[in-house]
Chains A and B, each alone.
Chain A
Amino acid sequence: MERTETREELIYSLQNKATDLRRKIIELAVIAGGGHLGGALSAIDLLVVLYYHILRIDPKNPRWEERDRFILSKGHGALALCPVLADRGFFPEELLATFNRLDSPFGMHPDRNKVPGVEMSTGSLGHGLGVAIGVALSGRLDRANWRVYCLLGDGECHEGSVWEAAMAAAHYKLGNLCAIVDRNMFCIDGPTEKIMALEPFKRKWEAFGWNAIEVDGHDFSQLIDVFESLPPVTSPVPTVVIAKTIKGKGVSFMEGQGAWHYGGLDSEKERRALEDIERLRPKSKLRS
């Protein structure tokens, strides 16, 4: 019989997994000839806590009716999502070797008709939350108890359609919807607050009628607490988790550097990146 995992063990295993996946993101960016590294590394801890602890999914049956739905509204996070889906067993990891190549199922933005486990084809910003509204309303119509999670970028929240969706989620009382914003403080051209200010960001969501929670997007203890204690799906208020993250998290020369929104790695940079990432690996497995 499986032994109950302690909280320390859980945090250890998630941190360890996140380290593995950060390495895979770097390796995939090398295969792909470049990628959205900054936003992949800022979002990966969120994806790890969701895909390895929170989401009810069945990789062998990607369209299982009772699954939780995850929509990557910041579609340029495919560099992070695809290795996660491969590692969870939605498809063989070797397939990622074709990334960005002619006729590959995998590119900078995910395609639901080509990649098992991808709920919606995304890439153009400001679409995913609206799609999630339709999914959440459908779930309510079917009296389902699964939840819809939707990960947005912070720069994405410049799009007016995000706020159309925010209004609708509150209007339709979609407690089965959880938006997550990867608040890494950067859009392509620079800091969000310099390009087009989003603050006071939390208050904006609250004013739109959302239950808004701020969290350190790289602290697994906090992330576990927040996602484990979301209001029930029948609650009348949608929740947004504003995850404060660091663009390029884990790689010293990328952290907080807007220029690493998209970039490529030569072998020296790849070596240094992997070296940095190893430093995030938790030291030793705690035993109960």
Chain B
Amino acid sequence: MAEGISYTVYELYKDLTQTEVYGQTLVELAKKDERIVALTADLARSTKIGVFFDAFPERAFNFGVAEQNMMAAAAGFAISGKLPYVSTFAVFASMRTAEFVRTDIAYPNLPVRIIATHAGVSFGQAGTTHHCTEDLGILRTMANMTIVVPADSIETAQFVKASVDWPGPLYCRIGRGLEPLAYLEEDYGFKIGKSVLMRDGKDLTVIACGVAVLPACEVADELTGEGISLRVINMHTIKPIDREAVIKAAEETKGIITAEEHNIIGGLGSAVAEVLAEAGLATRFRRLGIPDVYSVIGYPEDLYHRYGIDYEGLLRAVKEMLGMETKGEQ
């Protein structure tokens, strides 16, 4: 544990998954804001929105295994002045219901909050049907949609609080497991659309989101001992992306690596590449993520390792870009 940590915050979040934090934070907000309603499609327990169902049964709606109808109904709540929080697995939120999200929510620009859990390969052992490595690419092409990928439970809580007054539709993707915390405190100034400089550095930049943020920070800390200064940016908002931070990273450091729990096509890496290309900035650039394959079955940590978005994978990628020797690990 680093110096200066707020023990209260750490104790509050260390044993909670992102999904649990989401549910509990929403319950707290709903006590003050009667507009908040919660919707799920037979996944109240799995998405941990069950706490809301217990606290506010009259404002909680289970639609059974019928996600399309749930998304349409969320739009109906929104045009009636409510603030619907919709919880289901990312694979269903982004693909099963894609046209409902696009036509009923994004197109009319309605304040529906889609909380997509079990995103990426975080439900690894459930197999490829339950992985979701396409959602950022799909949702990014929906106009009006804002997309957030919190790095940990603390950031999830900050996002949920910030989401209440956000004017348009939101898509937030979180994992399912007890991921270690990337932050030490709550008061780091979370703002939708503004990235967080986790580590400053001049040699290279890792732009990460979600579960890749913490290992990127650990790599930066490790490399400090070798005289290398690595910048780590937590790009928690994929859209609208923080262009300024990307451009600064290209101008002030000697290369950029992106890291995400998503297909390297269409997600964070693509968004960063678009900013670089349009700014006319040539720099060494590499995207880490799922390399346009269907992710295999396995526990999430093993999959993060396989696809090189854990500590070892990020360390290796950084060293390769710096032309340093790497150990012969896969």
Report A's interface with B, CB cutoff 8 A.
Answer: 111-113, 119-121, 123-124, 126-139, 141-142, 160-161, 164-165, 167-168, 171-172
Contact = CB atoms under 8 A, between A and B. Distances in A.
Contacts of A141: 37, 58-59, 82
Q: Most chain-A CB neighbours within 10 Å: which of B72, B77, B82, B84?
A: B72
A75 to B, nearest CB: 10
A121 B78 CA distance: 13
B56 to A, nearest CB: 11
25 contacts: A112-B79, A113-B109, A119-B79, A120-B79, A120-B104, A121-B107, A121-B108, A123-B103, A130-B72, A130-B104, A131-B73, A131-B75, A131-B104, A133-B76, A134-B74, A134-B75, A134-B77, A134-B79, A135-B77, A137-B77, A138-B77, A139-B80, A141-B59, A142-B80, A161-B72
B66 interface: yes
Contacts of A167: 64, 66, 69
B100 interface: yes
A165 B82 contact: no
A120 B100 CA distance: 13
Contact of B72 (A112, A131, A138, A142): A131
Nearest to B59: A141
Interface string B49-90: 000000000110101101011111111111111101000000
A168 B66 contact: yes
B273 to A, nearest CB: 32
A148 B290 CA distance: 46
B69 A135 contact: no
Contact of B108 (A112, A132, A134, A137): A112
A134 B103 contact: no
B99 interface: yes
Given A138-B81, A164-B69, A168-B66, A130 B108 contact: no
Interface in B104-159: 104, 107-109
Interface string B262-295: 0000000000000000000000000000000000
Given A131-B75, A164-B68, A167-B64, 13 more contacts: A126-B68, A127-B103, A130-B68, A130-B69, A130-B72, A131-B76, A133-B72, A136-B76, A138-B80, A139-B80, A160-B68, A161-B100, A165-B69
A154 B243 CA distance: 48
Nearest to A134: B76
A137 B37 CA distance: 11
Contacts of B63: 164, 168
B78 to A, nearest CB: 8
Contact of B80 (A126, A127, A130, A135): A135
Nearest to A129: B72
Given A127-B100, A134-B80, A138-B82, A168 B109 contact: no
A113 B107 CA distance: 9
A200 B70 CA distance: 27
B108 A113 contact: yes
A164 B194 CA distance: 39
Given A121-B108, A137-B61, A161-B68, A130 B103 contact: no
B109 A137 contact: no
A130 B59 CA distance: 17
Nearest to A130: B72
Nearest to A144: B80
A176 to B, nearest CB: 12
